């Protein structure tokens, strides 16, 4: 699957001057919600991501809300298991709301659209572990971490993309006076 082409075709590959969550600046940004709003593309992505983990005996797939909700759903559908999500708890962590059942000993796959620092998927894992479940692996559409994300379990992505990022003080886009867009 040519993931970058999917982002391009759906207008989800943005070009400009972006402030990433890491605090760094980048000329490119992958807006996954723009890609995943199309059920046809979303299901194709879920199927491809599910294929990377089909050997695992899983009980559910979980992703961080909001960006990981659709991805967890389509991946879980491809794998024939439940789809859950974790939400921000307002104190820097994440939690799983009442009504989404997690039983002690269950095994799960955690997913996120684009992993840069891996912070929100890590909090999602902790939320499920707090209910006694075990994380078997982490999946992403795109790994932008440059191999720096370390989850302690296998981490597989459909694509590794290494877009340039800059510290604000040495950003050539800032020097050219391009307006900065928060994403």
User: Which residues sit at the interface with Zn ion, rule CB under 5 A?
Assistant: 25, 171, 173-174
Beta partners for residue 135, in sequence order: 108
70 vs 43: CA distance, rounded Å: 9
Closer CB to Zn ion, 91 or 175, in the complex: 175
Closer CB to Zn ion, 21 or 97, in the complex: 21
Q: Which residue is nearest to Zn ion (CB)?
A: 171
85 vs 127: CA distance, rounded Å: 10
CB of 14 to Zn ion, least distance (A): 14
CB of 166 to Zn ion, least distance (A): 6
Closer CB to Zn ion, 152 or 179, in the complex: 179
51 vs 131: CA distance, rounded Å: 27
Continuous H helices in 31-149: 32-36, 39-51, 69-79, 119-129
CB of 168 to Zn ion, least distance (A): 6
Closer CB to Zn ion, 159 or 174, in the complex: 174
């Amino acid at each position: 699957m040519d993931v970058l082409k999917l982002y391009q075709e759906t207008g989800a590959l943005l070009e400009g001057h972006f402030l990433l969550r890491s605090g760094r600046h980048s000329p490119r940004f992958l807006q996954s919600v723009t890609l995943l709003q199309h059920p046809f593309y979303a299901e194709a992505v879920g199927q491809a991501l599910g294929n990377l983990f089909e050997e695992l005996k899983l009980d559910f797939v979980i992703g961080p809300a909001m960006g990981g909700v659709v991805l967890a759903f389509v991946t879980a559908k491809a794998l024939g298991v439940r789809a859950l999500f974790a939400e921000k708890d307002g104190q820097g962590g994440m939690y799983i709301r009442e009504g989404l059942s997690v039983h002690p000993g269950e095994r799960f796959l955690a997913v996120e659209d684009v992993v840069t620092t891996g912070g929100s998927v890590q909090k999602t894992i902790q939320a499920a572990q707090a209910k006694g479940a075990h994380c078997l692996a982490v999946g992403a559409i795109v790994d932008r971490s440059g191999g720096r994300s370390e989850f302690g379990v296998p981490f597989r992505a459909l694509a590794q993309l290494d877009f340039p990022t800059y510290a604000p003080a040495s950003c050539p886009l800032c020097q050219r006076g391009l307006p900065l867009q928060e994403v």
